[in-house]
Amino acid sequence: MSIRVEHVSKSFSAYPALRDVSLTMNDREFVALLGPSGSGKTTLLRILAGLEAPESGSVWFGKRDVTGDKPASRGIGFVFQHYALFGHMTVAENIAFGLDVMRRSARPSKRDIAARVEQLLELVQLPGLGKRYPSQLSGGQRQRVALARALAREPRILLLDEPFGALDAKVRRELRVALRQIHDELGLTSIFVTHDQEEAFALADRVALLNQGRIEQFAAPAEMQSGPASAFVREFLD
């Protein structure tokens, strides 16, 4: 699913978070939104998700204008920075949530849902942990559950907000590999926000570097390194 952002602007009570941002991402691309804090990258991600509404501009998924659409109807999966797992539900219940709340007519049978949960647990390499509670898992495990939960409804687009921020270096590396693998396997279009340059360059096909609400450069890592588009880019990459 390709994504097109056209002239999107957004302010938070006089503070301009995004200024006339335009971007086109191709189907099955893995894009990183990189930048210092306050650059607007998380705001852009949340606008893509429908968690914030832009003041002007539009967002297109494929041929559909989704600018006014609710998050539920956009066909996205969202992974939050601190996982936002439902503490009172088991891992299996968390993952099944997106399917459990479907309208009766569209909802798969209990058996199908359970099978899907198992399938997803295998995908994120947490087989057999369905009955545990989030509080009983490690940070890395919780992140995997959050990922599995976001994938349950077979979204075409996966959005991740600093997904590895709270984890230690070794776990981050493992999860990075796992994420890329899942992205490739499922043919997703993925966009993830990070302030870590190394991570962005390791994972993404193309990187969008943001600064104070504008895109400084949007290119493949190699290209960005050999030909930085501005002084900011050059300094940021050092």
Partner 1 sequence: MTAAGLREPPAAKALLILAALAYVALMLLLPLGAVMYEALRKGWGLWHAAVTEPDALASIKLTLIVAAITVPLNTVFGIAAAWAIAKFDFPGKAALIALIELPFSVSPVVSGLVFVLLFGAQGWLGPWLDAHDIHIIFALPGLVLATVFVTFPFVARQLIPLMSAQGRADEEAALTLGASGWQTFWRVTLPNIRFGLLYGVLLCNARAMGEFGAVSVVSGHIRGQTNTMPLQVEALYNDYDFVAAFAVASLLALLALVTLALKSALEWRYRHELSAVH
Partner 2 sequence: MASAPASRSTPLPGFGLSLGVTVLWLSLIVLIPLSAVFVRSGSEGWHNFWAAAGSSRALAAYRLSFGAAALAALINCIFGLLVAWVLVRYRFAGRRLLSALIDLPFALPTAVAGIALTALYADTGIIGRILEPAGFPVAYKPAGVVRTVEPVLAEASSEVEEAALTLGATRLQTFSRVILPTIVPALATGFALAFARGAGEYGSVIFIAGNVPFKSEIAPLLIITQLEEYSYAGAAAIACVMLLISFAVLLLLNLLQHWQQRRVG
Binding residues for partner 2, rule: CB under 8 A, are 12, 50-58, 67-71
**Residue 135: other Cβ atoms inside 10 A:** 9
Q: Is residue 80 part of the contact set for partner 1 (CB under 8 A)?
A: yes
| Interacting span for partner 1 (CB under 8 A) from 34-42, 144-152, 176-184, 213-221 | 144-152
The conformation of residue 134, written as its DSSP 8-state character, comes to G
Question: 3-state DSSP call for residue 148?
Answer: helix
Residue 60 pairs in a beta bridge with: 4, 65
Token code pair at residue 173: 């590396």
52: Cβ contacts below 8 Å, ≥ 6 apart: 10, 43, 46
* Closer Cβ to partner 1, 76 or 193, answer by number: 76
Please identify which residue in the block is written with the tokens 């602007």: 9
Question: 3-state DSSP call for residue 33?
Answer: strand
Q: Is residue 38 part of the contact set for partner 1 (CB under 8 A)?
A: no
Choice from 16, 57, 60, 97 touching partner 1 (CB under 8 A)? 97
Token code pair at residue 198: 């190394």
Q: Which does 102 bind (CB under 5 to 8 A by kind): partner 1, partner 2, none?
A: partner 1
* Closer Cβ to partner 2, 45 or 92, answer by number: 45
Q: Is residue 164 part of the contact set for partner 1 (CB under 8 A)?
A: no
Residues within the interface to partner 1 (CB under 8 A): 49-51, 70-72, 76-78, 80, 82, 84, 86-89, 97-98, 101-102, 134-135, 149-150, 152-153
